[in-house]
Amino acid sequence: MSHEQYQSIILNLQECVQACNHCYDACLQEDDVKMMRQCIRLDRECADICVLLAQALSRGTPFAGELASVCAKICEACGIECKKHQHVHCQRCAEACFKSAEACKQLTG
Amino acid sequence: MSHEQYQSIILNLQECVQACNHCYDACLQEDDVKMMRQCIRLDRECADICVLLAQALSRGTPFAGELASVCAKICEACGIECKKHQHVHCQRCAEACFKSAEACKQLTG
Amino acid sequence: MSHEQYQSIILNLQECVQACNHCYDACLQEDDVKMMRQCIRLDRECADICVLLAQALSRGTPFAGELASVCAKICEACGIECKKHQHVHCQRCAEACFKSAEACKQLTG
Amino acid sequence: MSHEQYQSIILNLQECVQACNHCYDACLQEDDVKMMRQCIRLDRECADICVLLAQALSRGTPFAGELASVCAKICEACGIECKKHQHVHCQRCAEACFKSAEACKQLTG
């Protein structure tokens, strides 16, 4: 994999972290916060694994494939949950999660 | 899985984090630091995934099995590397890593 | 500071992480989740800085005092919020947060 | 502070994380690894606090100022150490650290 492809995956992960954290923050401020519980929870799960993978990739981890594989699963689960809600922050987060999941799959060969 | 078993896994992970970080710190102070490079690197990889898994378990993550599976692999790799070196901190770290890997396997079904 | 005192601080931090994450998880399952928003938010803030400080201490960070100072503030803020709520998980979390804040202050000179 | 300024700070932090992690990885591969110990250590300290701050900012942390203040100190310390070494990765890392420290200071007002 070229350095450029790697960089592009890290960028996708970082965008996903921001989208998840923004969605988490916004969900906690919604009137229907009870409906958003699963979204809040998955936003945090997803942000944390994306952060770990982005860090690991940027320091040349020998476990890129294994970490990317679990990261892809969590991103997808978060994207599927976010997709269900009509809030703009949820829709944007879903998009970032699916993009990040796709990026991860480049590493799982 | 009972609450007690869960707690015991989290404890193993936390002990592994401390052993890895102590080994990392001590390796960086060894005279033969060049020989310890791979150990330094794996200590960090291992500490970071154990921290993430311990946090995730204590907040009821839906991804316990997936995360534990990759954590077990990284713990084992770190344990195998540490085991090669005669420094007390490496031997203790190897022990903590193998114990933590075993604990993780209880979660992977 | 003796090695035993250091170890005891790390232990306090790890207990605080678990209490915060358990409280976060339980708050998200409460009926009155809307009332628990601030608690959910602070539980996460507090867990994340305690995790970072515990890791940093166990690898001999040169920034123990600075990190412990901000960690003490966040633990206190989380404890004060949790204390307001009558749920058992909130009361226990408050206790762990205050204990962790006290432990941090041993490092701030 | 405007949303654009905030975003720009998060971007600086993320660039600093990548520079620190790349420098850490490259230092561990240098022939003079013994000379790079302090650099390796500070790269990790710096990456970890920048990651935490970037996450915290993107989820609307109430502790932006406190965290940014300690982050600025760690970025500066890492920048000063990296600056001493002639390796390209160290010089680039120093630059990213100083830029990140400046960005943090916008939050400490």
- For residue B83, pLDDT over 90 is answered with yes
Residue whose token pair is 């890492």: D78
- For residue C2, pLDDT over 80 is answered with no
A44/B59 Cβ within 8 A? yes
| Exposed / middle / buried, residue B31 (Cβ in 10 Å: 0-12, 13-18, 19+) | exposed
**Is residue B40 less than 8 Å (CB to CB) from chain C?**
no
Distances (CA, A) of C100 to A42, A105, B59, C19, D71: 27, 40, 19, 11, 21
Give a three-class secondary structure readout of A46-83: HHHHHHHHHHHHHCCCCCHHHHHHHHHHHHHHHHHHHH
B55 and B84 in contact (C-beta within 8 Å)? no
pLDDT recorded at residue D2:
72
Residue whose token pair is 């490496």: B90
Euclidean distance between CA atoms B5 and C43, whole angstroms: 24
Give the pLDDT band (50/70/90) at residue D4.
Answer: confident
Give the residue among B84, D44, B74 at the shortest CA–CA distance from A63: B74
Look over chain C and give the mean of its residue pLDDT values, rounded to a whole number.
Answer: 96
D47 and A55 in contact (C-beta within 8 Å)? yes
* pLDDT tens digits, B27-64: 999 999 999 999 999 999 999 999 999 999 999 999 99
Give the residue among A77, A41, A79 at the shortest CA–CA distance from C33: A41
Give the pLDDT band (50/70/90) at residue C4.
Answer: confident
Top-tier CATH class for C3-105:
mainly alpha
pLDDT recorded at residue C51:
98
pLDDT recorded at residue B55:
97
Euclidean distance between CA atoms D47 and A64, whole angstroms: 18
From chain B, the residues in CB contact with D44 under 8 A are 44
User: What are the residue ranges of helices labelled H in B1-109?
Assistant: 3-29, 37-58, 64-83, 88-105
The series of mean pLDDT values per 10 residues for chain A, 109 residues long, is 84 97 97 96 98 97 97 98 97 98 94
Question: Where do the domains of chain B lie?
Answer: 3-105
Give the residue among B9, B50, B11 at the shortest CA–CA distance from C14: B11
- Residue B91, helix vs strand vs coil: helix
Mutation target to probe the B interface, by most B beta carbons within 10 A, among A46, A53, A74, A80 is A74
D47/A17 Cβ within 8 A? no
- For residue C97, pLDDT over 80 is answered with yes
Euclidean distance between CA atoms D61 and A30, whole angstroms: 17
* pLDDT tens digits, C14-32: 999 999 999 999 999 999 9
Give the pLDDT band (50/70/90) at residue D28.
Answer: very high
